[in-house]
Homo-oligomer: A and B are copies of this chain.
Amino acid sequence: MTGQRRVLVVEDDITIAESVAVRLRAEGFVVSVAHDGPSGVALAAAFLPDLVVLDVMLPGFDGLEVCRRIQASRSVPVLMLTARGDETDLLVGLAVGADDYLTKPFSMRELAARVHVLLRRVSRAVASQALELGDLVIDLAARRVSRSGVEAHLTPTEYDLLVFLAERPSAVQARERLLAEACGWHEGASSRTVDSHVKALRRKLGADLIRTVHGVGYALEVPR
């Protein structure tokens, strides 16, 4: 997962584009460059970047349109480049789905710093190593669970069940769903299996953690 990050640069000014690309490659990124809107959109689909650096002023159609189209297919952080003082473009850009922007002229150090921040942010969201809900901490990598700093020893099924609930905090999950997702699907009559595991989780992590919804199923409550 810590494979090299891919950055797409869409910028018509060849000098700027090259400077940016060189700097980002020096930072360890895999960089691809497009010089107009259409090829930017195409490359976004083909190159599958983790981040897009995007100029607002582009031949073809403008950066805002590119931003819109890229965001339409999948969620990628976008860093926009604008001309100084062009505050309207800026605001529209942020509205359209850009996550950050820089005004020209900008220093390469600043660009690199912002790129790092944006990527750290998504990696925090996507690959989050730990799941924290109040005083409940689930270390996904280590498969460890603790509450208020006290570690609890969970069996595999209990752990899977807890993670499934924790990924959807306070959302009610039906018994059958839990049985199918957390425990392996067992053809035949759905049973009281889930209850047993919920009981175990409550015993080990506190009774207030999992809420029973009568007639439906269970939900994990975020502890205060």
Which residues from chain A sit less than 8 Å from chain B, CB to CB?
75, 87, 90-91, 94, 98-100, 107, 109-110, 113-114, 116-117, 121, 125, 128, 132, 139, 141-144, 155-156, 168, 170-172, 213-216, 219
Contact = CB atoms under 8 A, between A and B. Distances in A.
Given A214-B156, A216-B156, A87 B107 contact: yes
A214 B143 CA distance: 11
Contacts of A215: 155-156
Main secondary structure of the interface of A (DSSP, over half): mixed
A92 B114 CA distance: 12
28 contacts: A87-B109, A87-B110, A90-B110, A90-B113, A91-B109, A91-B113, A94-B113, A94-B114, A94-B117, A98-B117, A99-B121, A100-B117, A121-B121, A125-B125, A128-B170, A128-B171, A139-B170, A141-B172, A142-B170, A142-B171, A142-B172, A142-B219, A143-B172, A143-B213, A143-B216, A155-B215, A156-B214, A156-B216
